[in-house]
Structure 1
Amino acid sequence: MKKKLLSLLLITVLVFSLVGCGKKAETPVDTTDEGTEAPETETAEEIKVAMVTDEGGVHDQSFNQSAWEGLQQAEKDLGVKVSYKESQQDADFAPNFESLLDEGNDLIWGIGFKLSDAVMDAATANPEQLYAIVDSSYGDNTPENVVGVMFKAEQPSFLVGYIAGKMTKTDTVGFVGGIAGDIIWGFDYGYQAGVQYAAKELGKEIKVLNQYAESFSDVAKGKAIATQMYQQGADIVFHASGDVGNGVIEAAKEQDKWAIGVDRDQNDLAPDNVLTSAIKRVDLGVYYVTEELKKGDFPGGKTITYGLEDGAVDIAPTSNKHVPEEILKSVEDLKEKIINGEIKVPYNEETYNEYLETIK
Structure 2
Amino acid sequence: MFKKMLALMLVLLLMATALVGCGGGAAQDPAPEEDQEQVEDQPTEEQIKMAMVTDVGGVNDQSFNESAWNGHKQAEAELGFSVSYVESEQDADYERNLETLLDAGNDLIWGIGFMMTDAILEAAEFNPDQKYAIIDPDFGENVVPENLVGVLFKAEEGSFLVGYIAGKMTETNKVGFVGGMDFPVIHGFHYGFMAGVKHANPDAEVLVQYADSFVDAARGKAIANQMYQQGADIVFHAAGGAGDGVIEAAREQDKYAIGVDEDQNHLAPDHVITSAMKRVDNAIFMVAEMLKDGDYAGGETKVFGLADGGVGIAPTSDKHVPAEILEEVKQVEQEIIAGKIVVPNNKDDYEANY
TM-score, scaled to structure 2: 0.88
Q: Report the Cα offset of residue 312 of structure 1.
A: 1.7
Aligned position for 2:167:
165
Aligned position for 2:198:
196
Aligned 1:33-182 pairs, distance under 5 A: 40-41=41-42, 43-136=44-137, 138=139, 141-182=143-184
- Give the AA of the match of 2:313: I
CA distance in 1, matches of 2:157, 2:288: 25
Instruction: Please say if residues 320 and 328 of structure 1, whose CA atoms lie closer than 8 Å, have aligned partners that are also in contact.
Output: yes
- Give the AA of the match of 1:170: T
CA distance in 2, matches of 1:98, 1:173: 44
Structure 2 unaligned regions, length at least 5: 1-28
Q: SS of the residue aligned with 1:110?
A: strand
Q: SS of the residue aligned with 1:163?
A: helix
Aligned position for 1:296:
294
CA distance in 2, matches of 1:110, 1:328: 35
- Give the AA of the match of 2:185: I
Q: What is the root-mean-square deviation of aligned Cα atoms in Å? A: 2.0
- Give the AA of the match of 1:173: V
Aligned position for 2:318:
320
CA distance in 2, matches of 1:39, 1:338: 56
- Give the AA of the match of 1:93: Y
Q: Decide which of 304, 307, 325 is 1:306's aligned counterpart.
A: 304
CA distance in 1, matches of 2:321, 2:109: 39
Aligned position for 2:208:
210
Aligned length: 325
Aligned position for 1:11:
none
CA distance in 1, matches of 2:129, 2:293: 18
- Give the AA of the match of 2:83: V
Aligned position for 1:230:
228
CA distance in 2, matches of 1:254, 1:242: 19
Q: Report the Cα offset of residue 43 of structure 1.
A: 2.7
Q: Report the Cα offset of residue 45 of structure 1.
A: 2.1
The answer to whether structure 1 residue 274 and structure 2 residue 272 are counterparts is: yes
Structure 1 unaligned regions, length at least 5: 1-24
Q: Determine what percentage of the aligned residue pairs are the same residue.
A: 60
Runs of 4+ in 1 over 6 A off after TM superposition: 28-33
Deviates more, 1:326-335 or 1:132-141: 132-141
CA distance in 2, matches of 1:115, 1:289: 19
Instruction: Please say if residues 112 and 133 of structure 1, whose CA atoms lie closer than 8 Å, have aligned partners that are also in contact.
Output: yes
CA distance in 2, matches of 1:31, 1:72: 38
Q: Report the Cα offset of residue 44 of structure 1.
A: 2.4
- Give the AA of the match of 1:185: H
Q: Decide which of 333, 336, 339 is 2:337's aligned counterpart.
A: 339
Instruction: Please say if residues 137 and 150 of structure 1, whose CA atoms lie closer than 8 Å, have aligned partners that are also in contact.
Output: no
Shift of the 142–30 alpha-carbon distance from structure 1 to 2, 3 Å rule, reads farther
Shift of the 334–150 alpha-carbon distance from structure 1 to 2, 3 Å rule, reads same
Q: Decide which of 255, 258, 261 is 1:260's aligned counterpart.
A: 258
Cα deviation 1:231-284 (Å, max 9, x = unaligned): 111100000011111111111100010000001111111110001000110000
Q: Report the Cα offset of residue 137 of structure 1.
A: 5.2
Q: Report the Cα offset of residue 42 of structure 1.
A: 5.9
TM-score, scaled to structure 1: 0.86
Q: Report the Cα offset of residue 354 of structure 1.
A: 1.2
Q: Report the Cα offset of residue 30 of structure 1.
A: 7.3
Shift of the 261–38 alpha-carbon distance from structure 1 to 2, 3 Å rule, reads same
Shift of the 147–310 alpha-carbon distance from structure 1 to 2, 3 Å rule, reads same
CA distance in 1, matches of 2:50, 2:41: 25
CA distance in 2, matches of 1:121, 1:177: 28
Q: Decide which of 236, 244, 247 is 1:246's aligned counterpart.
A: 244
Cα deviation 1:301-337 (Å, max 9, x = unaligned): 1011011110221111111110111111111110111
Q: SS of the residue aligned with 2:283?
A: helix
- Give the AA of the match of 2:147: N
Instruction: Please say if residues 109 and 131 of structure 1, whose CA atoms lie closer than 8 Å, have aligned partners that are also in contact.
Output: yes
